[in-house]
Amino acid sequence: MAQQPKPNQKPSASGLLPGIGPNELKPIKCICGKSIFFPAVTAKFASRFQTDNGLPTLIQLPAGLICASCGKINKFDTTDIPELQPSTPPSPTIGTIQ
């Protein structure tokens, strides 16, 4: 059974643990520094021979997020977020004489 939100608590965003709200998450920013986006999709046509119900269908596939400020299409994943990258210790300099 799904956990119901408390009377004064807004339901959490999809995929978040109970008690974690959207305001507790770190925003992702475009290279221009803004953090307002709208979704971009690519459209594909599936003929009636390619669908399970025999009807021609328009398929929408996610293509990224478009920055509302500069228009750049961002394809964010965890490699784009510096905080999620494994930290590597600086490599020692080999062959230097002090």
* Mean pLDDT score across all residues of the chain: 78
For the chain, the structural domain boundaries read: 35-75
Cα–Cα distances in angstroms (integers) from residue 5 to residues 1, 19, 22, 25, 46, in the given order: 13, 9, 14, 19, 40
Label residue 21 by pLDDT band (50, 70, 90): confident
Query: Which region, left, alpha or beta, applies to residue 78 given φ > 0 means left and ψ of -120 to 50 means alpha?
Result: alpha
pLDDT at 15 over 90: no
Q: What DSSP state is assigned to residue 80?
A: G
The pTM assigned to this predicted structure is 0.55
For residue 30 the two structure tokens come to 């475009």
The pLDDT score that the predictor gives to residue 55 is 96
